[in-house]
Amino acid sequence: MSELYNKFHEHFEVVSADTVGLMEKAFRIRYQVYCVERSYETAEAYPDGMEIDEYDMHSTHSLVKCQRSGDYAGLVRLVLPNPVDVNTPLPVEKVCHSALQNSGLNLSSIPRERVAEISRFSISKELKRQAVRKASVSLVRDSGKQVKAGDSEIMPHITLGLFAGVVRMSAQHHITHWLAVMEPTLFRFLSRYGIYFQKVGPVVEYRGRRQPAFANIDSVLSGIHAKRKDAWEIITDFGNVWPLSRGAKHFVFS
């Protein structure tokens, strides 16, 4: 058991937003990040302080909780296939339609009920600082050295926690492949921990520069285990959430 794993679970917890109260917390964090901190959405459109859209009818959320303070610092959403019509396009398929079409990605070879979108990957700067300040968190850097937590130290732990939430939700809903559109900086950050997505076409302009991406979950998790076993321990809970695949299938391109 790695020091990274021990420190993560000493200070943080991945929580499924499976109650009305936790869903409200998720929507309020989304409002804080998307409306207040980044102005991606108009705050006046959400007078109750909760950012919600039409995809939440068939989505699931996970949060990362600071153990000592009890505060929530981040969340991630997994947009599931529409239960009424699984062929209904996911958000990224609408936003990045041309990029996906021209990329050679062949989604027709994958059962649509197994494809979901990683969405609203959000870490609130303000809520993160509040949680750490209350808890006096100390964490472990990549070098293995324990340090007093600042923004640069706490961000990897929360990010890994959110990714662990994505894997947990995917396992619960029998998802095998992901689509996403992410900031290039997040794309690069994830690669530090062996988390590799396939780039799908060029960077697009959508709330800034964003990279459309695709992944086979088995392939991603096998890659993490090979490069950063300590991160794999957190993300899969030692394979209990998602057992290590044998002969993982590769990305599907025509």
Q: What is the mean pLDDT of the chain?
A: 88
Alpha-carbon distance values, 253 to 105, 198, 220 (Å)? 4, 10, 16
Which residues constitute the domain of residue 16? 3-236
How many folded domains does the chain comprise? Answer: 1
Please report whether residue 245 resides in a domain: no
Residue 130, pLDDT above cutoff 90: no
Give a yes or no: residue 246 inside a domain. Answer: no
Q: Determine, yes or no, domain membership for 145.
A: yes
Burial of 131 (0-12, 13-18, 19+ CB in 10 A): buried
- When pLDDT is cut at 50, 70 and 90, the band that residue 135 belongs to is low
| Cβ density class 173-185: b for 16+ within 10 Å, e for less | eebbbbbbbbeee
Average pLDDT of 26-45? 95
* Domain membership flag for residue 53: yes
- CATH classification of the domain holding 155: 3.40.630.30
Alpha-carbon torsion 24, 25, 29, 35, what sign? positive
Residue 205: band (very low, low, confident or very high) from pLDDT cuts 50, 70, 90: confident
Q: Is the pLDDT of residue 252 over 70?
A: no
**Reduced to 3 DSSP states, what percent helix, strand and coil does the chain have, rounded to the nearest 5?**
45, 20, 35
How does residue 178 score in pLDDT terms, banded at 50, 70 and 90?
very high
Confidence band (pLDDT; 50, 70, 90) for 204? Answer: confident
With tokens 């979950």, the residue in question is 217
Please tell me the distance from the alpha carbon of residue 66 to that of residue 235, in angstroms, as a whole number. 17
Domain assignment present for 166: yes
Give a yes or no: residue 108 inside a domain.
yes
Phi/psi of residue 13, each to 5°?
A: -145, 135
Is the pLDDT score of 147 beyond 50? no
Per-residue model confidence (pLDDT) at position 125: 83
Name the residue with higher pLDDT: 41 or 130: 41
**Residue 182, pLDDT above cutoff 70:** yes
- Structure tokens of 75? 């969340």
Is there a domain that residue 8 lies in? yes
Any domain includes 39: yes
